[in-house]
Amino acid sequence: MTVVETTLPEDGSQEKHVARHSLTTRLNHWLIAASVIALILSSFLPILGIKFAWVTIHWVTGLAFTASIVFHTVYALLYQDWRTMWIRAAEFKDVIASMAGRLEMLKVPPGKYWLMQKVYHHVITLFGIIVIITGILMMYRIDSSFWDRDPYFLSAEIWGIVYVLHGFASLCFVPMLMMHIYFAIRPEKLFYTRSMIKGWITKDEYLSHHDPKVWVLDQESDPEEQKE
Amino acid sequence: MEFLRYSRDAWGQTVLEGMSWDLFWYFVGAGGAFILLHMVYMRLVNQKKGHE
Model confidence pLDDT, tens digit, residues A203-225: 999 998 998 999 998 754 444 44
A13 CA: distance to closest CA in chain B (Å): 29
A12 touches B at CB < 8 Å:
no
When CB atoms are compared, the residue of A44, A160, A176 closest to B15 is A160
pLDDT at A60 > cutoff 90: yes
A72 CA: distance to closest CA in chain B (Å): 26
Mean pLDDT computed over B15-36:
97
- With beta carbons under 8 A apart, name residues in chain A contacting B32: 178
CA dist A115 and A109 (Å) reads: 10
| Rounded to 5°, angle at Cα A182 from A86 and A128 | 50
Contacts of A117 (CB under 8 A, 6+ apart): none
Model confidence pLDDT, tens digit, residues A81-138: 999 999 999 898 888 888 777 777 788 888 999 999 999 999 999 999 999 999 999 9
CA dist B8 and B16 (Å) reads: 9
CA dist A43 and A38 (Å) reads: 8
Q: Which string of b and e fits A91-113 if b means at least 16 CB within 10 Å?
A: beebeebbbbbebeebebebbbb
Mean pLDDT computed over B7-33:
95
Helix (H) or strand (E) holding A28, with range, is helix A23-47
Contact A22, A223 (CB under 8 A): yes
pLDDT at A3 > cutoff 50: no
Q: What confidence score (pLDDT) does residue A221 get?
A: 41
- With beta carbons under 8 A apart, name residues in chain B contacting A178: 28, 31-32, 34-35
Model confidence pLDDT, tens digit, residues B14-23: 999 999 999 9
DSSP string of A171-201, one letter each residue: HHHHHHHHHHHHHHHSGGGHHHHHHHHHSEE
Contact A141, A148 (CB under 8 A): no
**Please, which pLDDT band fits residue A180 given cuts at 50, 70 and 90?**
very high
Q: Which amino acid is at A88?
A: R
- With beta carbons under 8 A apart, name residues in chain B contacting A179: 31, 34-35
Q: What confidence score (pLDDT) does residue A13 get?
A: 54
A171 touches B at CB < 8 Å:
yes
CA dist A137 and A147 (Å) reads: 13
> What distances in angstroms separate CA A114 from CA A91, A117, A150, one per listed residue?
9, 5, 45
When CB atoms are compared, the residue of A47, A100, A171 closest to B42 is A100
Pairing of strands B4-8, A217-218: unpaired
